[in-house]
Structure 1
Amino acid sequence: MFRPYEIFIGLRYTRAKRRNHFISFISLVSILGIALGVTALITVLSVMNGFENELRTRILGMASHATISTAGGGIDDWEGIARQVTQHPEVIGAAPFVRGEAMLALNERVSGAMLRGILPDREGAVSDVGEHMKLGRLGDLRAGEYGIVLGSELAYSLGVQVGDRVTVISPQATVTVAGALPRLRRFTVVGLFEVGMYEYDRGVALVHMQDAARLFRLDGQASGLRLQLRDLFEVKRVVAELSRDLPVRYRLSDWTREHYNFFRAIQTEKRVMFVILALIVAVAAFNIVSTLVMVVTDKQADIAILRTLGATPASVMAVFTIQGLVIGIFGTLLGMAGGIALALNVETLVPAIERLFQVEFLPADVYYISNLPSDLNWNDVWRISSVAFVLSLLATLYPAWRASRTQPAEALRYE
């Protein structure tokens, strides 16, 4: 005889034809519900991971993995500091910058911006803004020529094009006999960039570092150094190690601190979405309760016969637990297959659906991220599958326990 017999009977009940076809229908609904919930969870979390990675890439394309600055003033020997930090095996690039707030004006239009002075030949080591130039290139920024590269939204708000001259107004005043006057300098627009983040496209302007140092009176100093790391997720460890080697007056910051609230909000949203979609799995899993209750009622005589043949209550409970777990496991595996397939192909399927139905889910003129990115995380897959399995197991316990409490004499009285 097949051992253990509880598995044999549980599997036989699962695949045998029942007198009550409604039970079969409820079982099918339970399997499909679990599969649908698992598929939705895997797909939605993969898309949210994709959006998070896309936003992180765009933000760090303009920001930096880590930044070195001082409490006040600038950095005199930035080249020496750059050589020192790039000796760390995790630091693959370092570039100086000058940063300050300024007002940009053209005719009647005025807009505030963060003015960033860069060295065009070194900027590519710490950011990818050069890859997002709509017009011109970073190399057009030359010391002493007072060229400026604007974000596309900033240029639109000012109504400027490449070749126009804008007035840059520094808040640092120049003292004259007529009083304190703001420092002014006319810059020629030599390029436009668009990284796809409104914060940067609307509020950042790039100039050559020497021109920015003259405007902000830094006398050849740099406001700080931007660092690019081999692995951005190791930034906390690397920053701690660099802090031990640098003098105390230098302050190190990293992208997790500068954008902490933003990425924490994304993580919170993912957790909430996981809980909401997990309710779909929970509803489907607890359909197993109604399925097994009806099966237990239908199999009263079978349970009584098993008990008279010597089956223990634990064995009867195991029979129906196995039957419920088969439904849960089959639904979970089906959902895993569907979710993985959908998550890996969502970037292909969504454009196909848009073409088929002539719709556009994320219009490019409204959303900066107009495609639907997806990043399948296998840890999410195992976590979702584990939750579905546990919910299925919990759903089987009560009806299986009720089956184990069946009294043979009472069950066979009217047979």
Structure 2
Amino acid sequence: MNFLFAWRYFKSKKSTNAINVIAWVSVSAVIVGTASLIVVLSVFNGFEDLVKSLYATFYTDIKVVPSTGKVMRLSADQLKAIGQVNGVAAYSLVAEEKALLQNGEAQTIVYLKGVDKDYGNVSTLPEKVKVGKYEIGDEEKPFAILGVGIENALGVWSDRDILPLTVYLPKKEASLNITDPMQSLSAANLYTSGAFAIQQDFDNKYVITNLAFLKRMMQMGPDEYSGLEISLKKVSEESRIQDDLQNILGKNYTIQTRYQQNQGLYSIMQLEKWVIYGVLCLILVVAAFTMIGSLTMLVLEKQKDIQVLKAMGATNGRVQSIFISEGFLLAAIGAVTGTILALLICWAQVTFKLVMLEGGSFVIDYYPVKFLFSDFLLVFCTVLIVAFLAAWFPARKAALEPVELRSGN
């Protein structure tokens, strides 16, 4: 019944036209606020999903690293037990070390990552090779796949096996020779087979090569590795599998999910999303002020109706509920219309790519969009809270209107 009164008040003709104008201004503000929140949050979700997919190329579902130091031991029995864990699809042994890569006079510092033949089963990096082919060679003749940024820094054609690069790594337990620092480094030739392009952080940093070659350069033992990268059959089971692996390996090993490997990145993205949400909520604050003005004028307009309702036995709570329902009605009209408008805008962006990214250096050339039900729920809840707060003060004023009884002559 409250909404019935609210609807009749909304569509009824007012004695002052300004009341109708202010009411529609408040609805328009809610429309703009709702549409802005949904569109911007959806675009942010699109970028977040894109960035996560790029990082997922390099970071596997689960990674095992030593709790202390840079090297860990994994026996054949431990690897067998890991492979038998329910939910584990595949695993790959890796070694990683910072190195100096040189091509004639050009040189750059890189992270040299040695991987085994199963690496393609846990990572999609082989699919990101843009030049040449994915080939890591063997211990005797190792090949390297360079990030495109490193390829440019060294000035090489990575798909042309002409002259090898020279790679320098620190010797194990070697002391620094001040007169000749190169004596503290081990050197080897490294042929190139291709270049990958994922994302700038990886393209300018990593070189992929053969695990056996890198272990020999790092003087690692047969059972020594830098890490173990694992792909899962179902990512949703990562918590259980993480616990199972921890029970198998013990406290000397750290088991990291993809989120934990990039916790800083994911935390920043979530923080940015909440900051954007807070800023855009200011539009709804403007809508709240216009709604307060609209409902206050409506209360003044309907003073006689309030008197009649109270004379018929309506309580203060009933009168207050009617005008709060009026606020909810204004908000609901604005929220539904704003949602439809946001859906149309996002559909047009996905279909026609109306807004393009400038620069042309990103992996896509237009703003991505992704809808999340949680965002729609968040926006609707926000609109309803703002509507309640805006309607409460005029509704309270209406409820406290005194009943004036007139006696006949």
Tell me if TM exceeds 0.5: yes
**Match for residue 326 of structure 2?**
323
- Measured at CA, do residues 186 and 13 of structure 1 come closer, stay the same or move farther in structure 2, by a change above 3 Å? same
1:56-95 equivalent positions in 2, closer than 5 A: 56-70=52-66, 71=68, 74=71, 80-95=77-92
State the Cα distance separating 1:294 from its structure 2 match.
1.0
* Aligned equivalent of 1:250: 253
What are the equivalent positions in structure 2 for 1:257-406 lying under 5 Å apart? 257-343=260-346, 346-349=349-352, 351=353, 353-354=354-355, 360-365=356-361, 367-406=362-401
Among 212, 215, 218, which residue is 1:213 paired with?
Answer: 215
- Partner of 1:138, secondary structure, is coil
Post-superposition CA distance 1:346-391 (Å, at most 9, x none): 3334x2x25xxxxx424322x3454322221111211210111121
Count of aligned pairs = 397
- Please give the alpha-carbon distance, in whole angstroms, between the structure 2 residues aligned to 1:396 and 1:282: 13
SS at match of 1:380: helix
Matched AA of 1:116: K
- Structure 2 residue 200 is the aligned partner of structure 1 residue 198: yes
Report the equivalent of 1:17. 13
Which structure 2 residue ranges, 5 or more long, are not aligned? none
Q: Give, in whole Å, the separation in 2 of the partners of 1:261 and 1:199.
A: 14
Q: Structure 1 residues 291, 339: closer, same or farther in 2, change over 3 A?
A: same
CA deviations over 1:191-213 (Å, ceiling 9, x no partner): 00001x21210010011112212
Please report the RMSD computed on the Cα atoms of aligned residues, expressed in angstroms: 2.7
Structure 2 vs 1, CA of residues 63 and 306 (structure 1 numbering), >3 Å: closer, same or farther? closer
After superposition, the C-alpha distances for 1:122-173 in whole angstroms (9 at most, x for unaligned) are 1121111111101122236344222111000011111111224211011217
Q: Which moved more, 1:296-305 or 1:42-51?
A: 296-305
Paired residue secondary structure (1:95): strand
Amino acid aligned to 1:285 = A
- Judge conservation of contact 1:332–1:388 (CA < 8 Å) in 2: yes
What is the TM-score normalised by the length of structure 2? 0.88
CA separation of 1:373 and 1:90: change in aligned 2, threshold 3 A: farther
In 1: Cα distance, 2:323 partner to 2:89 partner = 60
Relative to the length of structure 1, the TM-score reads: 0.87
Shift of residue 264, structure 1, vs aligned partner: 0.8
Measure, in 2, the Cα distance between the counterparts of 1:53 and 1:233.
17
Select between 396-405 and 186-195 the one with higher mean Cα deviation: 396-405
> Which residue of structure 1 lines up, in the alignment, with residue 94 of structure 2?
97
Question: Do structure 1's residue 148 and structure 2's residue 147 form an aligned pair?
Answer: no
Q: Please, which runs of 5 or more residues in structure 1 have no aligned partner?
A: 355-359
Counterpart in the other structure of 1:129: 125
- Residue 82 of structure 1 and its aligned partner are, at CA, apart by 3.4
Q: Post-superposition shift, 1:222?
A: 3.2
Query: CA separation in 2, counterparts of 1:31 and 1:62?
Result: 47
Provide the residue aligned with 2:171 in structure 1.
Answer: 172
Partner of residue 357, structure 1: none
CA distance in 2, matches of 1:78, 1:98: 15
Q: Distance in 2 between matches of 1:32 and 1:230?
A: 48
One-letter code of the match for 2:99?
A
Of the structure 1 ranges 398-407 and 233-242, higher mean CA displacement relative to structure 2 is found in 233-242
Q: Residue 271 of structure 1: CA displacement?
A: 1.1
Check conservation: 1:149, 1:191, Cα contact below 8 A: yes
8 Å CA contact 1:82–1:95 kept in 2: the answer is no
Instruction: Give identity over the alignment, percent.
Output: 22
| 2:108 matches 1:111 | yes
Instruction: Tell me the amino acid that sits aligned with residue 400 of structure 1.
Output: A
Task: Write out per-residue CA displacement over residues 250-289 of structure 1, whole angstroms, 9 at most, x where no aligned residue.
Answer: 3433333332122111111111111111221222133211
Q: Deviations over 1:209-229 (max 9, x none)?
A: 122122222244433211112
Q: What is the CA distance between 1:116 and its match in structure 2?
A: 0.6
CA distance in 2, matches of 1:137, 1:79: 31
| Counterpart-to-counterpart distance in 2, 1:193 and 1:229 | 24
Q: 1:156 to 1:79 in 2, by over 3 A?
A: farther
Contact 2:59 / 2:261 at 8 angstroms: preserved in 1? no
Query: Whole-Å Cα distance in 1 between the matches of residues 138 and 27 of structure 2?
Result: 66
